[in-house]
Amino acid sequence: MADHDLVIIGGGPAGLTAGLYAARANMKAILFEAKDIGGELLNTDLIEDYPGYESITGRELAEKMGAHATKFGLKIQPYSPVKKISSDGDWKVITMEDGTTHRAHAVIVTVGGEPIKLGVPGEEEFHGRGVSYCAVCDGAFFKGEDLAVIGGGDSAFQEGLFLTRFARKLSLVHRRTDFRAQAILQDRLLGMEQVTAITPATVKEIGGDTQVRWMDVERNGSIERISVGGVFVFIGFKPVGRHLFDEHIDHDENGYLLTDQYMRTNIPGVYACGDTRAQLAKQVTTAVGDATTAVLHAERYIEELKHMRRSFPEATSEVLEREVERMTVKRYLAGQTIIREGDPADSFMIMTKGAASVRQNGPNGEREVSTIKPGDFFGEIGLLSGTPRNATIRATAPSEVLVLDAAGFRDLIENSTETKQRVQTSMEERLAKVGGKTGS
Ligand code: NAP
């Protein structure tokens, strides 16, 4: 079993972006892709709405994104299908189809989805013999033939445009008269001489001999048989991310994974991005944005988890994960006050970087009573005793502190007698040092 900070599953635009950021942050990350790197980009001829590239082929953009991430040190493993993701304490265990396993503190799922099928007679039988779900992959096999595209969205129009390079005639079959594809794509495709829109119409059957030769289409209550050598189906896409989990992962009624604004799913340490996530748009731009957010949050989550594990080795994984999800990070410059004597005690803190001085006011002014270094926790006295802070804590170097609210603190100590005892002992030791005043 290999251990990683982060495992990214899926090598489309979202996965490659997450990988780029992870590699640049020096995280121990690996990306698994079941097929070639590029995801849906490989099924797309031209991309014309990715800022900075007026027009670029999907394959070229995929290659550029892959090269960019590997240049910064990302480990990419294509042809490595993942079978399932499960939790083992606060580790995520990734089991590959070949039976090998990997462990990671966090997982970003960017596995996209698969094409929706028409579900009509002949579709399955002729898949690979004239029925296709990828014009870029198969279009060139149909040079000079009459072809059909089914669907009325961006994919149908985008792929239809690609097929006009090969098709003698192209029929666009859509179940409504209005199309949902972007206007610019509609104008381009429907303005072409060899293209005929057949609407409102539904495909009833696809048939032929060794290859597709015809399809039956119902329009206005009657069935027409249209001669075609190829039927390209683009009627949408169904997400596959949730099938990787045995345990429940929140998803909408169509199977898209639900996340918050940080791309977190309901399973701590599991993030979802791109086309497998429930959201308004499925664009390269949104996939890239999702992944940026996810990996920046995951980086913080992993760091916090490691700090919590070091500070509270006896706490259960579930409790640690829960508290990490509640925590915030605060940063202080040298000289800034972290806690002020007399303020209400509403949080518990763990220093992760820097140093601080614990100071109390006395008859001769403020004096240092102790110091705080990375790994130390503080702020427990006021929370346990219900009194205001009994000391001022001031950063003496640029410092970073994890802040847990009062409810999280209670959850942490109530779930482990060992933690409770340790925090209690620390409070007593500190109180002994400062002469019994309760508070910070
Ligand atoms: P989509 O936008 O969901 O469109 C699916 C089309 O298929 C719709 O026109 C729908 O009809 C039709 N349809 C659905 N079920 C059907 C059925 N059972 N029988 C017949 N027709 C059916 O899917 P998509 O075109 O694959 O696009 C997916 C996402 O990727 C979209 O968000 C899209 O914007 C994005 N995309 C963007 C670009 C781009 O250039 N920026 C390119 C490709 C895809 P109704 O309209 O009647 O529902």
- Report whether pLDDT(136) > 90: no
Q: Give the span between the Cα atoms of 314 and 323, in whole angstroms.
A: 14
Closest ligand 1 atom to Cα of 118: 18
Q: Is the CB of 186 under 6 A from ligand 1?
A: no
What is the whole-number distance in angstroms between the Cα of residue 157 and the centre of ligand 1? 9
- pLDDT by residue (tens digit) across 40-65? 899 888 898 899 999 999 999 999 99
Residue 272 and residue 265 in contact, taking contact as beta carbons nearer than 8 Å = yes
Give me the DSSP letters along 42-65: GG-SEE--BTTBSSEEHHHHHHHH
Q: What pLDDT does 439 receive?
A: 46
In this structure, which residue's CA is closest to atom 7 in ligand 1? 235
Residues 104, 221: contact at Cβ < 8 Å?
no
Query: Is ligand 1 within 6 A of the CB of residue 400?
Result: no
Q: What is the pLDDT of residues 382-409, one digit of tens each?
A: 999 999 999 999 999 999 999 999 999 9
Nearest-atom index, ligand 1, CA of 284: 41
pLDDT, the chain, mean = 94
Tell me the percentage of the chain whose pLDDT exceeds 70.
98
Q: How does pLDDT run across 236-290, given as a tens digit for each residue?
A: 989 999 999 999 999 999 999 999 999 999 999 999 999 999 998 888 999 999 9
CB of 149 within 6 A of ligand 1: the answer is no
In angstroms, rounded to a whole number, what is the distance separating the alpha carbons of residues 58 and 16? 14
What's the gap in Å between 181 CA and the centre of ligand 1?
7
Residue with CA nearest ligand 1 atom 38: 154
Is the beta carbon of 151 within 6 A of some atom in ligand 1? yes
Structure tokens at 114: 């698969």
Mutate to test the pocket of ligand 1, among 50, 159, 282, 286 (most ligand atoms within 8 A of CB): 282
DSSP one-letter string for 26-44: T--EEEE-SSSTTGGGGG-
Task: Name the residue of 188, 218, 235, 237 whose CB sits within 8 Å of the most ligand 1 atoms, as the mutation to test its pocket.
Answer: 235
188: nearest Cα among 218, 209, 158: 158
Structural domains of the chain, ranges and CATH numbers in brackets? 2-113+237-311 (3.50.50.60), 131-233 (3.50.50.60), 317-433 (2.60.120.10)
The neighbouring-strand residues paired with 87 are 92
386: left (phi over 0), alpha (psi -120 to 50) or beta: left
Scan for tokens 């499925």, then name that residue: 282
Counted residue by residue, the chain has a size of: 440
What are 9's two structure tokens? 């599953």
Residue 156 Cα, ligand 1 centroid: separation in angstroms? 7
- Structure tokens belonging to residue 165: 């390079």
User: What letter would DSSP give residue 202?
Assistant: E
Positions annotated as catalytic residues are: 134, 137-138
Asked whether the beta carbons of 204 and 217 are under 8 A apart, the reply is yes
